[in-house]
Every structure is written in structure tokens, then in C-alpha cells.
């Protein structure tokens, strides 16, 4: 998986939003597939129009470090999942809580080029990740 810094740099290099959408789809294709038995109602992200599933795992460190895996049935949304995972996966729960996803998405220019439904879904993914990080902290 590419780092969020590399993704931001790649987006800034691409001038045309058609090229950026193609890159977004390419990012989604690079995600490792989730197992079918992981794509359940429990892992489904509520608030997304497309089907989005998100699995979080935390280690036993103090504070816990979380890794995320995700999947979507829509190409562009799968790319948004890839960006979100690059932003949050591998960070500690406090780092996740302190991460300003909106600022990163604004830097990329996503907010102004997404439909309201996709923006809501993106927000729902971030909320779910932050909720999972809070739960990992409480269970530590």
C-alpha cells in the first residue's frame, strides 16, 4: 500500500480530474481483497451508499496500534477506501484521534470533486475508524 504522502504527491502531479479519477480507481485495485466471510453486516460501514466493509485490528501495545483492511463494491469508492486506509492504518489510537482527515482530503481536492453521497460515505469511514481507535484505547 502506498503512503499517504505518496498519494498526495501523485494527486498534486495530476492536473486533470479525469486522470485523478483513474488514479483513484487504480488505488482501489491495489487493495488486497477481503475474504467473503469478512464482509458482513458487522463490518459494513453504515452511512455509505455503496457497500463498504472495514475490518480493524489492534495490537497489544500501549497505546494500541491499529491496522485496517477495507473493501467496496464500487471502483471509485474502493479508491477512497485505499486513501483512507493509507491515512490511518498503522497508526496508534491517539494518532488516529488526532488526524485531521478533512484537511488531507482537502489537500487532495477530494471534497470538491465528490458527490454529496460519496462525501458522506467518506465521512462515515473516518468516523468508524476513529470509533474503532477509541474502542481499542478503552480495551487496552
As annotated, the active-site residues are 48
Closest by CA to 7, choosing from 23, 22, 21, is 23
Dihedral (Cα; 77, 23, 95, 50), 10-degree rounding: 0
HSE-up (13 A, CA, CB side) for residue 118: 17
Instruction: Show Cβ contacts of residue 96 under 8 Å, excluding neighbours closer than 6 positions.
Output: 66, 88, 129, 130, 133
Amino acid at each position: 500500500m502506498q503512503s499517504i504522502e505518496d498519494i498526495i504527491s501523485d494527486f498534486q502531479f495530476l492536473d486533470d480530474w479525469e486522470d485523478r479519477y483513474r488514479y483513484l480507481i487504480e488505488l482501489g485495485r491495489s487493495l488486497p481483497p477481503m475474504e467473503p466471510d469478512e464482509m458482513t453486516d458487522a463490518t459494513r460501514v453504515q452511512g455509505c451508499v455503496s457497500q463498504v466493509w472495514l475490518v480493524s485490528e489492534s495490537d497489544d501495545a500501549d497505546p494500541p496500534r491499529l491496522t485496517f483492511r477495507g473493501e467496496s463494491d464500487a471502483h471509485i469508492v474502493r479508491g477512497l477506501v485505499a486513501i483512507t486506509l493509507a491515512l490511518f492504518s498503522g497508526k496508534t489510537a491517539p494518532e488516529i484521534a488526532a488526524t485531521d482527515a478533512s484537511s488531507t482530503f482537502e489537500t487532495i481536492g477530494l471534497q470538491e470533486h465528490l458527490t454529496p453521497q460519496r462525501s458522506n460515505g467518506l465521512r462515515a469511514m473516518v468516523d468508524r475508524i476513529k470509533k474503532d481507535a477509541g474502542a481499542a484505547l478503552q480495551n487496552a
